[in-house]
Amino acid sequence: MTVKGFIVDYNNRPLQGATIRVKGVPKGTVTDQHGHFEINGVSLNSFLDITMVGFAPLTIAAKSDLGYDYLKSLG
């Protein structure tokens, strides 16, 4: 399946450069300038690890349309 979504901070500002990786396989991407990402060929029941410098890491279940997810600032 194709997984699409976007990543924002708690002020709803898009986060460019957040890394999204499919847990357990060498597949992933980074968010664009608007916080959007897309990963093709993701298996059902997969999980995504989302990381960005200065923010707490997040793991979520993969689904075709994730909508948006928040990353919490460490500062």
Where do the domains of the chain lie, and which CATH numbers do they carry? Answer: 2-73 (2.60.40.1120)
3-class DSSP state of 2: coil
- Give the pLDDT mean for 36-57: 95
Long-range contacts at 63-68 (CB < 8 A, ≥ 24 apart): 63/1, 63/3, 64/1, 64/2, 64/3, 64/4, 65/4, 65/5, 66/3, 66/4, 66/5, 67/5, 67/6, 68/5, 68/6, 68/7, 68/8, 68/35
pLDDT at 67: 73
pLDDT at 75 over 90: no
pLDDT per residue over 9-37, tens digit each?
989 999 999 999 999 999 999 999 999 99
